[in-house]
Structures are given as C-alpha cells and as structure tokens.
Amino acid sequence: MRNMAEALEKGDLKRFSEFQADDVTYHMPGKNQISGDYHGVEAIPGIWERQGQFLVSMYRVKTYDMAATHQHIIMLAEVTAQREDVTYHDRTANVYRVAAGKIVEAWPFIFDLYAFDTIYA
C-alpha cells in the first residue's frame, strides 16, 4: 500500500500500474475533459497524459493518510496542479477496491469538484 502511494507521489506510472489488475476501472469524477471511466491497466497512463495536456505543471500528489481492509484501500491525499495562472490545490479521498492484491476499481473523490472541473475545462 505504501509502495503504491510512493509510486503515485513520484509520478512513476510504470510502477503504479504494477499495483493494478489488468481489467482495472477508474471512475474519474466531474464534468470536464478528463471525466469518465477508464478501463484496463493500459488506460491508466492515459489519465495522466490527458491531465498533462491541460497543465503547466503536472498533477502532484502528497498522501497524508491511508487505511485498508482485504477488499478496500482508502488513500487521503493533497493534490496540486497549475494551468496557466491558476493553481489548483485540493484534497482527495481515493477509494480502491482490491482483489487478489491488485486494484480492480478506483473512485477518486474530489473535495472541491468545482475547482477540479475548472482546471480541466
């Protein structure tokens, strides 16, 4: 769990993908250019690539707490991104469903969804 968070914080998508099941699904919230469902481990880098199309500085993640059971991981994090002269800073609660030690489904819950939608408008 900590290794997964560390890979995400460092932007190491290859390593982060190792913690995902081949048929993982990510449900990106909001009504913006990156919202929607992403299916399959090969789609994960596409989320960050799409974010990078809009940002001056890449989306940065800093994990501040985590909890886990044998079926779920909850990761609380602060995120920062910049687009032109607008800086986005918010907190998230990422919920991951786990099976056989791999993430099979993910739901990022964004505290300020309006700001999230604005940065990726």
Local confidence pLDDT in tens for the 121 residues of the chain: 788 888 888 878 788 888 999 999 999 999 998 899 999 988 887 787 777 777 666 678 899 999 999 999 999 999 888 888 888 889 999 999 999 999 999 999 999 999 989 888 8
Cβ pair 52, 40 in contact under 8 A: no
Contact 98, 70 (CB under 8 A): yes
pLDDT of residue 57: 64
Q: What pLDDT sits at residue 110?
A: 93
| 108-113: long-range contacts, CB 8 A cutoff, minimum separation 24 | 108/26, 108/27, 108/28, 108/29, 109/29, 110/29, 110/30, 113/29, 113/30
